[in-house]
Structure 1
Amino acid sequence: MSVTKEAVLERLKTISGPDFSGNIVDLGMVSEIFVADGKVFFSITVPAARAQEMEPLRAAAERVVKEIPGVASAIVALTAEKKGGGMEAAVPPRPAPRPAAPPRPAPHAPASHSQGKRGVPGIEAIIAVASGKGGVGKSTTAVNLALGLAALGLKVGLLDADIYGPSMPRLLGIRGRPQTRDGKILQPMENYGLKVMSIGFLVEEETPMIWRGPMVISALTQMLREVEWGPLDVLVVDMPPGTGDAQLTMAQQVPLAGAVIVSTPQDLALIDARKGLNMFRKVDVPLLGIVENMSYFVAPDTGKRYDIFGHGGAKREAERLGVPFLGEVPLVMDIRESSDGGRPVVAADPQGAEAAIYRQIATRVRDRLAQEKATAENAVPSIVFE
C-alpha cells in the first residue's frame, strides 16, 4: 500500500499543538512531507526557547505516522531558529554505543580496511573528505576535488554527509527535490557531470536541523544506500567536521577506500586535523593525504604574497606523520565568489591557475587510490602447514 502525504497530514492532525492549542498541522508547524518507499521524512517547527520540552510532541508525531498502514519508518526532526539565526539542539544527543572491536583476521592473514563492511552497488571506491574542525574550506575542497577527478575521466558522485550544515546545493547551484524510481530509490541530482545527494535537497536552506545522533546516522545510511548512484568510479563524501557519531559510523560501516584531510596552516587547525587523522587510522582507513587550504594570499593589486594563517604547517605535519601531502590551495577571491555563486572554480574556470591546483590534487588522490588498491590485491594470506 502506497503512503500519501495527505494520509500523513490527516494522522498528524490528531497531535495537539503546544499547550493543547489546535493541532500541529493547522498551526503550520509541519514542514513539507517527503515519502519514499514507505519511509516518511518531515520536521516540526517549535519555539527555540521551548525546544527541550517538545520532545514528547515529536515522539507522538513519529508514533502516529508509523501506525499508518504501509509506513516502514518515519524520521521526524524538531527544527527551531535562534535569534540571529543558527541552530539550537532540542536535547543532548544520546551517547553513542561503544563500537564493537573489529573482527580479528584469521592467523597469518593480513587485515583489510574493508573487512566486514558492506559495499555500495555500482560504486568502485568511496573516499571521505574530512577535517577536525569547521571553517577550513572542507566542502569547497570536496566539490572541487570531485570535479577534478571527473576532469580526469572518472565517473564521480558527491555525497553531502553534513546533515546539520549541508552546502552542496549552494556550491553546485542545484535547486529542486530528487525524484524516486518506482517510489523506492532516490535519483541523485546532477550538475557539472556529478551525481549529488544532500539532505539540503529535502529541507529548506534556512531550516536548522535538530536531530539526535541515531536520526543523523539513519539519514546518512539512506542517502548512501538508497540512492541510485552507479555506475561510479569514485564517490566523494563531504564529511561533517569533527570526529563524532556521523564520522565514526561512516568510517566503521562504509568500505572507505581512503580519506583526505583538509586543514589550514595554523597550529589550532592542525591540532584538530590530527584528531581526524588518528580516527581514520584507528578504524583502519587509508590516509590518502593532507590538503593545506587557505595556504597563502596574493594581493590582486600588488601581487605581494601574505601568509595570513602561517604557511607550510600542513606539509610539515604530513611529513611528521608520514602521510602524503596533496597540495596547497591559496586564499583567492575567485574561489570564494565562484563557490557562493554555485559555480565551483574547476567548472567555472577550468583553464585557470586555481583549477589546475585542484586537478593536481585530484591526480594525486587518484594515484593514491590505485596504490592502495594494488596493495590490498597483493596482500594474500600466507599458508602455513603444521
Structure 2
Amino acid sequence: MDAQQVREALRRVKFPGLSRDIVSFGFVREVAVEGGSVRVRIALSSARPEVGPAIEKDARAVLEGLPGVTAVDLEVHVTPPQGETSAPPNPLPGVRTKIAVASGKGGVGKSTVAANLALALKQLGYTVGLLDADIYGPSQALMMGCRERPMVNENEKILPVDGNGVHVMSLGFLIDPDTPVIWRGPMVMKALQQFLEDVEWGTLDVLVVDLPPGTGDAQLTITQQLPLDGAVIVTTPQDVALIDARKGLAMFQKVNVPVLGVIENMSTFVCPHCGKESEIFKRGGGRRTAEQLGVPFLGEVPIDPAIVTGGDAGTPIVAAAPASAAAQAFRALAQELSGRIGRGPVTAGR
C-alpha cells in the first residue's frame, strides 16, 4: 500500500450531497504511508458545519478497510469561506438542494436554460422552486407563464407564484416591465436578501437560482447568504463566451461553491426543411473548457426557434414541444444533474 493507492481509495468518499469526490475537489492535502500506518490530512472551506464530520466518517471507513492498514491518523479541517468567521444560518431550511445557474456574460441563454432545467426537474418528480436573481433583467415571470402577482400570507411572507407547476419568485412581479432597474450594489444585495428571507418557499427538493451574468455583487451576495450545493455554468461554443465562462467558474471555486458542470447552449442548428446541421457558433468549446478546467461537461442544447416562442408564450419548450431535440436535451441535462446531486425527489405527494 502506497500513498497513490490511498488517494485512489479516497475517491470513494463523496462531498456530502454531491457525486463528486474529495480527491478531485483537491481537499486531500497530505497522505503518508509507513508500514501499516496511514496518515491523511483533509482541508476544505465550507459554510456547512455538517460537512466535516460526514467526510471524516466516510474517509475513516475507507482507510480502515484498506488491506494491510493497522493504524489510521486522520485529520479533517473545515474553515468558513474567506471573509466569514462562522457559517451563516441557512435562510431556507425547507429547501433540500440549491443550484445556481450562471454565466460569465449575457446573451448565452442562461435564463432560458434555468427555466427549462427547473421544469425538466419537476417532470422527474422533484418539487422545484425557481428564484430569478437576475435583478437587472428579470425574465422568469414571463418565461414561466406566471399571470398573477405574489400574495402575502398571515406571517407577512411573500408567496411564490405558480409557473407551470414550479414555484417562481422574480423582481419582474414587483416592477413595471418598462421600468429599468438602476440600482447600486447595496440595493441589489438588499433585494436578494429579501428574496431569501421574506419569501415563503416552503418545502422544496430543488431551488434553481437564476443568477445575473458576470461576477459581481449579486453573485457574491447569493454565495454568502445562501449555502449553495452547486453551480452550473452556461456558455455558447464561441471563444468570447468561453473566456467569460472561465471567469465565472473561477469565481465559484474561489468562494467554495462546487461547480456541477458546464452546459453548452446553442451548439448546433438543424434545418427543419433539409435536415442539414450547421454549427453557427462553432461547437465543442464548452466540452473542451470543462475538460481543461477539470469539471464535468453536462451536455449540449441545440438552437431551436421553438425555444424562443415557448419562452415568449410562457411555456418553456420542455412542456411546449416535449418531443423536440431541445426538450430532450434539457431533460437529459436534468437527469445528469439529478445524478450529480445524488438525491431523488422526496417531497412528491406531500
Q: TM-score, normalised by structure 2?
A: 0.74
- 196, 209, 218: which is aligned to 1:224? 196
The number of residues matched between the two structures is 271
Which of 1 and 2 has greater Rg?
Answer: 1
SS at 1:292 equivalent: strand
Instruction: Give the match for residue 173 of structure 1.
Output: 145
Percent identity, please.
Answer: 56
Query: CA offsets, 1:242-283, max 9 Å, x none?
Result: 000110111222100000000000111000000000000001
**Structure 2 counterpart of 1:108:** 75
**Structure 1 residue 174 displacement after superposition:** 1.2
Partners in 2 of 1:331 and 1:110 — Cα distance?
A: 46
Gaps of 5+ in 1: 1-100, 372-386
| 1:370 lines up with 2:342 in the alignment | yes
Cα distance in structure 2, aligned partners of 1:192 and 1:175: 11
Note the 1:160-239 alignment, pairs <5 A. 160-182=132-154, 184-239=156-211
| Counterpart residue type for residue 295 of structure 1 | S
Deviation of 1:294 after TM superposition, in Å, equals 0.4
> Residue 296 of structure 1 aligns to a residue in which SS?
strand
> Residues of 1 paired with 2:319 and 2:338: CA distance?
19
Task: Name which of 289, 309, 315 aligns with 1:343.
Answer: 315
Residues 306 and 321 of structure 2 are in contact (CA less than 8 Å); yes or no, is this contact kept in structure 1?
no
Q: Cα gap change, 1:297/1:315 in structure 2, threshold over 3 Å: closer, same or farther? A: same
CA contact (8 A) 1:134 1:241 kept: yes
Q: What corresponds to 1:127 in structure 2?
A: 99
CA contact (8 A) 2:270 2:277 kept: yes
Residue in 1 that maps onto 2:294: 322
Which is strand-richer, 1 or 2?
Answer: 2
Letter in 2 for 1:198: S
1:228-377 matches, cutoff 5 A: 228-370=200-342
Contact 2:128 2:206 in 1 (8 A): yes
Contact 1:132 1:274 in 2 (8 A): yes
**Residue of structure 2 equivalent to 1:157:** 129
Aligned residues of 2:303 and 2:326 also touching (Cα < 8 A): no
Distance (Å, rounded) in 2 between the aligned partners of 1:355 and 1:288:
21
2: CA distance, partners of 1:168 / 1:233 = 19
Instruction: Find the residue that maps to 1:165 and give its secondary structure.
Output: coil
User: Which residue number corresponds to residue 346 of structure 2?
Assistant: none
- 2 CA distance for matches of 1:272 and 1:117? 29
Contact 1:113–1:286 (Cα < 8 Å) also in 2: no
Instruction: Report if aligned partners of 2:268, 2:278 keep a CA contact under 8 Å in 1.
Output: yes
| Equivalent-residue separation in structure 1 for 2:187 and 2:297 (angstroms) | 35
* Deviation (angstroms), 1:102: 8.0
In 1, distance between residues paired with 2:78 and 2:252?
A: 15
1:183, distance to aligned residue in structure 2 (A): 5.8
Q: CA deviation at 1:112?
A: 7.4
Deviation, structure 1 residue 113: 8.1
CA-to-aligned-CA distance 1:106-139 (integer Å, 9 cap, x gap): 9932437887132212100111000000000000
2:89 aligned with 1:118: yes
Calculate the aligned-residue CA RMSD, in Å: 2.2
Structure 2 unaligned residues grouped into runs of 5+: 1-44, 53-73, 344-350
Task: Spell out, residue by residue over 1:58-88, the C-alpha distance to the aligned partner (whole angstroms, 9 max, x if none).
Answer: xxxxxxxxxxxxxxxxxxxxxxxxxxxxxxx
- Whether the aligned pair in 1 keeps the contact of 2:236 and 2:267 (CA below 8 Å) is yes
SS in 2 for 1:209: coil
Cα 1:180–1:313, aligned 2, differ >3 Å: closer, same or farther?
same
Letter of the structure 2 residue corresponding to residue 278 of structure 1: A
Displaced runs of 4+ in structure 1, greater than 3 A?
112-115
Aligned AA (1:214)? P
